[in-house]
Structures are given as C-alpha cells and as structure tokens.
C-alpha cells in the first residue's frame, strides 16, 4: 500500500505487525520549506505554522493567540482570538495593550509588507506595536525587521531559519475581532450580542440611578437650549483666558478701518491689520458661513493660546464674542509669514534660517512638553510661522490644534493639516501623537534649508523623468554627499561652520520625516540636535515602505 501526501511517499507492508506508516523516501525532503509558492496557503492553512517531524511528515499548529477554525482539522486555517486589524473596532486599542510572544526559527515568508533596516530588536518591537497593520515582526540577522500583516501564509518553522518571530498578542483578553473566515451560517451575532448586553445593563440598573440619569439629560438639554438662545459661546475659563481683553464688534470694526487691509487667510478666517491704543494688531475674523466649524476653531484657539506664554508663540491679546461674530486679536508681527520670506527673492541669510528653525523647534517643545496642557498643533507649515522685527519665529494659527488630557499621550481624530506636511499615520488610522508635529517640522526644516516648497518645487528626477518631492530629493542629496546642491552654492551655508550646521539640519530633517512615528525624535531631542548639544546619528531611509 502506498499513500501520497503532496510529493512525499510512504509505505506500509501488509505482512508486518508494526502499525502505522514508515517513510521510504520523500520529495521534496522538507515540504514545509521547499514547496514553491509565492503567495497563498502553503502546506498548512492561513496563519498556521508547518513543521517537519521525525517521520518526515508535516504537522500544522497555530501561533500564540490563534486557534484552528475547525478544531477537528489540523490542516485548516487559524484565526486570531483578538482584534489586530485597522478597522473601526481596532482604533481604540493602543500599543500599551499589546506585547509579543517569541517564536524562534519561525517565519511566514510571503506576508511581508515592510522591511526596516538597520533596526535593533527594540526598534522592531516598537514599530510593530505602533502599527495596527502589523501582526508579526520578524527580526533577522541582528539588523533586519520584516513587518507582516494578516493573513499570514506559507508559515514554517525549522532550524534552517536563523531569525526570530515576534507575534503580537494582547496583554489581557480583548474583544474578538470580526472573524477572518465567516461561520458556516454566514450570520454575524455581534449586533444581537450588543443589544442583549445593553438591555441587560438597563434592566439591571437601579430605578434611582435611572431617575438621576434622566434628570441630568434634561438639565443638559436645558443648558444647550439656553446657550443657543443667547447666542454666546462658552469658553474655557483658564487663568490665561481670564487675562484676555474682551472687545465689542464695533471697536474692532473701527480698529481695522472696516476690515480693509488684509494680511492673510487661514482655514476658517481672514486676518486684517488694525490699530488699538496706537499699537498695531492683527485681527482674525472667522468666516460666518462656516459657523459650526469656525465656532469650534474659535473656542480651540482662545483656549489654547489663552493659557500659553512663550517667546516663540504668537501672543493673543483679546477676542470678540458678539452675536454671530467671532474675532481674535493678536500681536502684530512686522515681517509677516515665513512663507513670504522663505520662497521670495532674495532668500534669507543662512544665519537667519538657522535662527528661525531653532525658534520653531523651541516653540513646539513648549507645546509638547512644557505647557500645562499638552498641545498638538496639527498644522505646522511656513504660512503659520510669523516673524517679528528681529526675525524671531513665532508659531500661529492654533485653530486645528488638539489638546491632550492629563496623562494622555495619543488621540484618535480625523485628518488635520495641509497637503505636503501631513504625517503618514493620519491615513493609516493610527493613534495621533505629538509625532505628527515632528513630521511636519521635518518637512518645514528641509524647506528652510533649501528655500524650496516641498510639493510645488521644480526638482526633476532625470532617471525617472518625473518631478520629486523636496523630502525625497534632500535624502538623495544627503546619501550621495552633494549637500551643496541643496543650498545652490550658498557660500555661508557651505563654510566650515556653516557646512557642519547644514549637514546637521538635513540629518535632523530626515529623522523627523521617518514614516514610522516611533523612529522620529521628540522635539526636545530635535532642539538639542539643532543646538549641537548632542550628536545626530546617521538616519535610515525615511521612506522604506515606498522604496522596497
């Protein structure tokens, strides 16, 4: 009798008293390793691991945190016992809820979606923990980090694999994800379960608590209705806000001469020049046809700037909250926006550019670490950096800013910012941290170095015959050692001392625009590197996902 399993052959003699099958020869010798597939299942099912035992027959097992879909078929696929996807159910699961189970000499070679190198094991772990797509990280040869996403295919284990699999599992039991493979009846009971749970909670709640809850809801509706009738916007009465001056709309109409001299436009309003007590001011008038959005922006901006005080932040002097009118009064900065200076002619001196970059970094450091409420600006770009008469940089326009609560380090929110400066994690449903500002600063830093716009520049990739982003071009120039191309022969920037600063600023910029947020430095470290207080290590390629 002969049994065939894939290409392996076994024999069992009828006249022997020894039960079972005995291998005579097999081809290939190790079917787990040698089965030629570029994608798909492999010998075992999805998310499983193939292993060759002593009798040369393959066996399948599930990795930590996974179980067979069909418990009676150990060649079936495995499904995770917890959520590891990037759908709506996963977005509230932060990296501190997960850990790793190590599986030596185990790999799923056809499930890679990112290679990060050179990477330490700790960097590999951090990158996978902060990436909701990453289900397994493979650490190989002491420097390579291969990130893998579900479904995992062609899994195998064996002494011939000189690597380590880091399987991401929850530290405690998490709600199960939607099944990767639907049950036979095709019905999803999650909605029914939720309804049942909700009903149980309601019926199990005491009558007194329900009465109190109804009372609170009614009181809430009353105050909402009252606030709408009065037309007033309730603001956060922080210590900083109470020091702001309240203006009438008529006073600001007179101060701006009827809003005649426009200084610039933002996301939700127009900025006009004005005079108050013989001192120039900038008055931001929010657009009325975006009332809901502009009121939110008004509240955010007053709350944020009203409680901050730093030489690299624009100072808010007062506000107007009258009827449907929402206006903000700022200090006037005589040299306008960085955008006008940076992309105009002639270009600012190298010394001024270095001073401006350091000032922006210090302002962001204050927002991220030194302010009483941690603030993510969310829209760092040249148009939102203003310059005083000494060309000192001041961060402005906090309308899109995100405030974090005490002890909170990340948040989930819709995409904010401006094209060309938005960090990749906004588009990957990852938790947003202060590292989105670090990314935007990195793009801005490279613009300050080159005096070119990131997405509207005429840099041409001659080999590919296409335009390049400034960040791509700057990295290529750094790798090729042609830093002079970035500053177009600016002798001040290329002098002995200037050349050191040039290389340092470019390297810091490359670190800041890393696609992996965990690799980006904090603004404290950025500031220290720009100041020359600490060495800048050699940065890796910031676009590993796009250059594979």
Shared domain check, 427 and 307: no
- Please indicate whether residue 38 or residue 132 has the higher confidence score (pLDDT): 132
- Give pLDDT, residue 274: 95
> Is 176 a domain residue?
no
CATH code assigned at 269: 3.30.200.20
> Is 489 a domain residue?
yes
Dump pLDDT digits (tens) for 352-405: 999 999 999 999 999 888 876 778 888 899 999 999 988 999 998 875 555 444
> Is 5 a domain residue?
no
Long-range contacts of the stretch 400-403 (C-beta < 8 A, 24+): 400/267, 400/297, 400/300, 401/300, 401/301, 401/304, 401/375, 401/376, 401/377, 402/375, 402/376, 402/378, 402/432, 403/300, 403/303, 403/304, 403/373, 403/374, 403/375, 403/376
What average pLDDT does the segment 423-433 reach? 73
Shared domain check, 313 and 363: no
- Give pLDDT, residue 193: 45
Shared domain check, 366 and 325: no
- On the question of pLDDT at 183 being above 50, the answer is no
- Give pLDDT, residue 374: 76
Highest mean pLDDT among 111-125, 243-257, 352-366: 352-366
By the 8 A CB rule, do 160 and 50 touch?
A: no
87 is catalytic: no
Domain count, the chain: 3
Shared domain check, 355 and 308: no
Question: What pTM was estimated for this model as a whole?
Answer: 0.55
- Give pLDDT, residue 341: 92
Shared domain check, 379 and 353: yes
Spatial separation of the C-alpha atoms in residues 130 and 109, rounded to whole Å: 22
Dump pLDDT digits (tens) for 28-80: 667 787 765 544 456 788 888 988 876 667 888 999 989 888 777 767 788 88
Ramachandran quadrant class, 236 (left: phi over 0; alpha: psi -120 to 50; beta: rest): beta
With bands split at pLDDT 50, 70 and 90, how would you rate the model's confidence at 489?
confident
- Give pLDDT, residue 535: 94
pLDDT > 70: what percent of the chain?
Answer: 65
Shared domain check, 97 and 40: yes
Q: State which residues form the domain around 68.
A: 35-170
* Pairing state between β 316-322 and 245-246: parallel
Shared domain check, 135 and 275: no
Cα of 412 vs its chain's centroid, Å = 10
Shared domain check, 374 and 263: no
Shared domain check, 306 and 395: no
- Candidates 379, 397, 437, 490; catalytic one: 379
- On the question of pLDDT at 94 being above 90, the answer is no
- On the question of pLDDT at 179 being above 80, the answer is no
Shared domain check, 285 and 347: no
Q: CA Rg, the chain, in Å?
A: 30
> Is 319 a domain residue?
yes
- Give pLDDT, residue 419: 73
- Give pLDDT, residue 252: 96
CATH code assigned at 527: 1.10.510.10
Shared domain check, 462 and 343: yes
Shared domain check, 478 and 411: yes
Indicate the annotated binding residues for ATP: 285
Indicate the annotated binding residues: 285
User: Of 118, 138, 170, which residue constitutes the final position of a domain?
Assistant: 170
């Amino acid at each position: 009798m002969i049994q065939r399993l894939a290409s392996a052959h076994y024999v069992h003699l009828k006249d022997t008293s020894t039960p079972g099958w005995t291998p005579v020869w097999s081809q290939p010798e190790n079917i787990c390793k040698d089965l030629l597939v570029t994608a798909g299942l492999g010998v075992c099912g999805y998310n499983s691991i193939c292993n060759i035992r002593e009798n040369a027959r393959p066996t399948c097992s599930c990795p930590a945190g996974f179980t067979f879909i069909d418990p009676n078929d150990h060649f079936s696929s495995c499904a995770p016992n917890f959520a590891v996807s990037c759908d709506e159910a996963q977005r509230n699961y932060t990296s501190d809820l997960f850990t790793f189970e190590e599986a030596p000499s185990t790999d799923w070679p056809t499930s890679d979606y990112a290679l990060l190198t050179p990477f330490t094991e700790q960097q590999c772990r951090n990158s996978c923990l902060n990436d909701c797509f990453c289900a397994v990280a493979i650490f190989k040869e002491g420097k390579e980090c291969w990130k893998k996403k579900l479904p995992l295919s062609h899994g195998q284990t064996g002494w011939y694999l000189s690597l380590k699999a880091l399987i991401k599992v929850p530290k405690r039991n998490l709600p199960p994800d939607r099944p990767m493979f639907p049950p036979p009846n095709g019905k999803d009971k999650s909605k029914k379960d939720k309804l049942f749970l909700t009903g149980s909670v309601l019926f199990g709640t005491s009558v007194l608590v329900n009465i109190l809850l109804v009372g609170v809801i009614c009181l809430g509706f009353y105050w909402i209705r009252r606030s709408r009738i009065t037309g007033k916007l309730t603001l956060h009465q922080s210590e900083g806000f109470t020091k702001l001056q309240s203006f009438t709309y008529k006073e600001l109409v007179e101060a701006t001469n009827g809003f005649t001299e426009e200084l610039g436009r933002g996301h939700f309003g127009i900025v006009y020049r004005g005079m108050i007590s013989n001192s120039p001011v900038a008055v931001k008038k929010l657009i009325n046809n975006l009332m809901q959005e502009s009121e939110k922006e008004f509240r955010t901006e007053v709350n944020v700037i009203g409680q901050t005080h730093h030489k690299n932040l624009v100072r808010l002097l007062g506000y107007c909250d009258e009827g449907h009118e929402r206006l903000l009064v700022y200090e006037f900065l005589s040299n306008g926006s960085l955008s006008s200076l940076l992309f105009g002619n002639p270009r600012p001196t190298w010394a001024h550019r270095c001073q401006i970059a350091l000032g922006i970094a210090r302002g962001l450091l204050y927002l991220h670490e030194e302010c009483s409420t941690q603030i993510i600006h969310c829209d760092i770009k040249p148009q939102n950096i203003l310059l005083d008469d000494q060309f000192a940089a001041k961060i402005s326009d906090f309308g899109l800013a995100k405030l974090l609560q005490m002890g909170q380090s990340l948040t989930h929110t819709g995409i904010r910012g401006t094209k060309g400066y938005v960090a990749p994690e906004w588009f990957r449903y990852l938790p947003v941290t202060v590292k989105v500002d670090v990314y935007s600063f990195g793009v801005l830093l490279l613009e300050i170095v080159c005096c070119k716009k990131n997405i509207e520049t005429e840099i041409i990739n001659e080999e590919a015959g296409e335009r390049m982003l400034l960040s791509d071009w700057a990295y290529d120039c750094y790798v090729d050692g042609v830093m002079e191309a970035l500053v177009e022969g600016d002798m001040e920037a290329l002098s002995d001392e200037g050349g050191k600063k040039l290389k340092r600023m470019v390297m810091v910029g490359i670190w800041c625009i890393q696609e992996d947020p965990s690799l980006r430095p904090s603004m404290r470290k950025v500031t220290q590197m720009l100041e020359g207080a600490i060495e800048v290590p050699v940065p890796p390629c910031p676009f590993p996902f796009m250059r594979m």
